[in-house]
C-alpha cells in the first residue's frame, strides 16, 4: 500500500509518500510560503530535486499541487493518484478524547474543530489539510495521528494544575503534552536497540529543536512531560519562554501590555532569541559563544540548566532510568549541547563517551561509555514513518476499522507499533 503522510501548517504543507509496510520513502517535499505572492514547492524523488515557484493561495491549492506533482509524468512517482491507498495526518491536539491514532470520520473532525481553542495555531491548519485531502481523494481513508496521544497515560497527579477544579471540568485546562509521536518513536527505538520489549523500558526522552520537550517514559508509557496545556510550557525553546512565573504577565499587563502583545512576547520573542538578542538557532548561538558573546553563552547555559532540572526531576519520578535519548534538530546534531547536558546530569548514572558523541551527528548511535549505568542514545526522530505505520495498520484489510463508536460510546483507537523505517 502507498501511504501519503501530510503535515499541514498555516504557511506550509509537508508530505511524504511511503511504500508500506516497509516504510520506504518514494517521494517527499513541502510547499512553503502559502498565501504569499510567490510560494515554492520542493519535491524530492529518486535522488533528484524538482522545484516550482508559483502562487499557492491556501492549503487546498497546496494539496492539489502536491498530488499533481506526485502523478506528474516527468517528476512524479505515481501513474495516477488513485494508487494512494490511505492518507495519514499529523494533528497537534486531541484533547482527552484521543489516546491513539484513529480513522477520520465526521465525529473526529468535529473533535479536532473543538480542540482548536487549545491549539489555535495548529489544529485549524491541520484540519484544513484533512479537508483538502478528503476533497481531492474522496474515496481514500484518512487517519489522524495526534501529538498529544502518547501522553494520554500521564496520571492525574501529573497533569492537573493547582487551579480551581472547575476550570478543568469546564475548559479542559490540564497538562496535555506534545511531540508525542516523536517521544513514542524514540522510546520504542531505544527499547528495540537494547533488546527490550517496548513496555520494558524506563527512559527520559529529550526532543530538542526549535520546539523542545522532555518526557518521562515508564515501562514504555509517558507518565510526565514538560509541555502543558499548550506547547509554551517547559524548557526554553527557540522563541518560546518555557516555564515562568505567571505573575510576570500580570505585572506587564499593568505596564500596558495587552493580551495580544503578551502572547507574542512569550511565543515569538522569548526563549533563546530573547535571552541572546541574536538568534533562535542553536548553531548560531554556539558560534557566537565561541567568539565570546556573553548573552549567547547565557542563552546556552539557561537552556542546559533547565533541561538538567527536568532530567533530574524525571529521574526521581521514574526511580530507575535505563536510557536518556536525544532527538530533534539540536538533540541529533549538536555534539556540544549533548556533552554539556550529559556532563550536568552525571549523578543519575550517565557517562558520556566523548569520541562516540563526536561521531553521532544526525544518525542513530549509542554514545555512553561501557561503564555507564544509563544508556545514552542519539535517535533521529521519524514522525512521518510513525504516522505512515499507524495509517497502514488502521486502514489495511488485515485490521478492523476503529473509528466507529464502541459499546461505551467512545471512539475506539489504537496506538500502533513503529517501524525503524528507511529514508
Burial of residue 398, with CB atoms counted within 10 A of its CB: 0-12 exposed, 13-18 middle, 19 or more buried: exposed
- Mean pLDDT (whole number) for 89-108: 95
* Residue 311 clears pLDDT 60, i.e. is over it: yes
pLDDT score for 165: 98
Neighbour count for residue 111 (Cβ, 10 Å): 20
Please check whether residues 225 and 92 belong to one and the same domain. Answer: no
Instruction: Tell me, yes or no, whether 391 and 331 share the same domain.
Output: no
pLDDT tens digit string along 262-271? 999 999 999 9
Average pLDDT, the chain: 93
- Strand 84-91 relative to strand 203-208: parallel, antiparallel, unpaired? unpaired
In this structure, the answer to whether residues 56 and 201 fall within a common structural domain is no
The answer to the question of residue 30 being in a domain is: yes
Same-domain pairing of 234 and 97: no
The pLDDT value given to residue 399: 45
pLDDT digits (tens, 9 = 90+) for 139-153: 999 999 999 999 999
Please tell me whether residue 143 adopts helix, strand or coil conformation: strand
Give Cα separations from 332 to 27, 188, 245, 279, 303 (angstroms).
23, 17, 31, 19, 16
Cross-strand bridge partners of residue 84: 2
Q: Are residues 94 and 220 in the same domain?
A: no
Residue with cell 515569538: 268
Element of type H or E holding 44: strand 39-45
User: C-alpha angle with apex 89: 99 to 172, nearest 5 degrees?
Assistant: 40
Options 147, 322, 353, 390, the catalytic residue: 147
Flag whether 110 is in a domain: yes
Q: Model pTM greater than 0.85?
A: yes
Q: What is the pLDDT of residue 118?
A: 83
Would the pLDDT of 37 be above 70?
A: yes
* pLDDT score at 412: 38
At 324-336, the pLDDT tens digits run: 999 999 999 999 9
Q: Judge contact between 140 and 87, C-beta under 8 A.
A: yes
In a domain, 261, yes or no: yes
Q: How many CA atoms lie within 13 A of 139 on its CB side?
A: 4
Question: 104-118, 371-385, 396-410 — which one is most confidently predicted on average?
Answer: 371-385
In a domain, 77, yes or no: yes
Residue 423 has pLDDT above 90, yes or no: no
C-alpha radius of gyration, the chain, whole number: 21
316 within some domain: yes
What CATH number does the domain containing 259 carry? 3.30.420.40
Residue 417 has pLDDT above 60, yes or no: no
Asked whether residue 50 carries a pLDDT value surpassing 60, the answer given is yes
Q: Judge whether residue 402 has pLDDT over 70.
A: no
Active-site residue flag, 22: no
Q: How many CA atoms lie within 13 A of 324 on its CB side?
A: 31
DSSP designation for 214:
E
- Nearest residue to 186 (alpha-carbon basis) of 214, 210, 153: 214
Residues 8 and 118 in one domain: yes
The reported pLDDT for the residue numbered 135 is: 96
420 confidence band (pLDDT: 50, 70, 90): very low
What's the average model confidence in pLDDT over 95-106? 94
pLDDT over threshold 90, residue 163: yes
Q: Between these two residues, 326 and 11, which has the higher pLDDT value? A: 326
User: Does residue 94 lie in a domain region?
Assistant: yes
Q: Are residues 248 and 323 in the same domain?
A: yes
- Tell me if 203 is assigned to some domain: yes
Q: How many domains does the chain have?
A: 2
Do 64 and 83 fall within a single domain?
Answer: yes
In a shared domain, residues 128 and 251: no
| Helix or strand run (H / E) with residue 287 | helix 282-290
Q: What is the pLDDT of residue 398?
A: 53
More confident residue, 401 or 305: 305
CA distance 270 to 359: 32
pLDDT at 238 over 80: yes
Which domain, by its residues, includes 61? 2-146+383-395
Residue 185 lies in a domain: no
Can you tell me the distance from the alpha carbon of 124 to that of 194, in angstroms, rounded to the nearest whole number? 39
Amino acid at each position: 500500500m502507498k501511504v501519503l503522510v501530510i503535515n499541514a501548517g498555516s504557511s506550509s504543507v509537508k508530505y511524504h509518500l511511503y511504500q508500506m509496510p516497509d516504510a520506504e520513502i518514494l517521494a517527499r517535499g513541502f510547499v512553503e510560503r502559502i498565501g504569499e505572492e510567490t510560494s515554492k514547492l520542493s519535491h524530492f524523488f529518486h535522488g533528484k530535486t524538482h522545484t516550482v515557484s508559483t502562487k499557492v493561495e491556501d492549503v487546498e491549492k497546496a494539496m492539489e499541487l502536491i498530488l499533481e506533482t506526485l502523478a506528474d509524468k516527468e517528476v512524479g512517482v505515481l501513474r495516477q493518484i488513485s494508487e494512494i491507498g490511505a492518507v495519514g495526518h499529523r494533528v497537534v491536539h486531541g484533547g482527552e478524547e484521543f489516546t491513539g491514532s484513529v480513522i477520520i470520520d465526521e465525529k473526529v473532525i468535529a473533535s479536532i474543530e473543538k480542540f482548536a481553542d487549545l491549539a489555535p495555531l495548529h489544529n485549524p491548519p491541520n484540519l484544513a489539510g484533512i479537508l483538502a485531502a478528503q476533497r481531492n481523494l474522496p474515496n481514500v481513508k484518512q487517519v489522524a495521528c495526534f501529538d498529544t496521544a502518547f501522553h494520554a497515560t500521564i496520571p492525574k497527579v501529573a497533569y492537573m494544575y493547582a487551579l480551581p477544579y472547575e476550570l478543568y471540568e469546564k475548559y479542559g485546562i490540564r497538562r496535555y503534552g506534545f511531540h508525542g509521536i516523536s517521544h513514542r518513536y524514540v522510546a520504542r527505538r531505544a527499547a528495540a536497540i537494547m533488546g527490550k520489549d517496548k513496555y520494558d523500558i524506563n527512559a527520559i526522552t529529550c526532543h530538542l529543536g526549535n520546539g523542545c520537550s522532555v518526557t518521562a517514559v515508564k515501562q514504555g508509557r509517558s507518565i510526565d512531560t514538560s509541555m502543558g496545556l499548550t506547547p509554551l510550557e517547559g524548557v526554553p525553546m527557540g522563541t518560546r519562554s518555557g516555564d515562568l512565573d505567571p505573575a510576570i504577565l500580570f505585572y506587564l499587563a499593568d505596564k500596558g501590555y495587552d493580551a495580544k502583545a503578551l502572547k507574542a512576547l512569550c511565543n515569538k520573542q522569548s526563549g533563546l532569541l530573547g535571552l541572546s538578542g541574536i538568534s533562535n538557532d542553536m548553531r548560531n548561538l554556539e558560534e557566537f559563544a565561541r567568539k565570546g558573546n556573553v548573552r549567547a553563552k547565557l542563552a546556552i547555559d539557561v537552556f542546559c540548566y533547565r533541561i538538567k532540572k527536568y532530567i533530574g526531576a524525571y529521574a526521581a519520578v521514574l526511580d530507575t532510568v535505563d536510557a536518556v535519548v536525544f532527538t530533534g534538530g539540536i538533540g541529533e546534531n549538536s555534539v556540544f549541547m549533548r556533552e554539556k547536558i550529559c556532563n550536568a546530569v552525571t549523578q543519575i548514572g550517565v557517562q558520556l563517551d566523548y569520541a562516540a558523541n563526536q561521531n553521532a551527528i544526525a544518525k542513530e548511535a549509542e554514545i555512553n561509555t561501557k561503564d555507564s549505568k544509563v544508556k545514552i542514545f542519539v535517535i533521529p526522530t521519524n514522525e512521518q514513518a510513525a504516522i505512515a505505520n499507524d495509517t497502514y495498520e488502521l486502514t489495511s484489510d488485515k485490521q478492523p476499522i476503529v473509528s466507529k463508536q464502541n459499546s461505551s460510546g467512545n471512539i475506539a483507537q489504537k496506538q500502533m507499533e513503529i517501524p525503524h523505517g528507511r529514508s
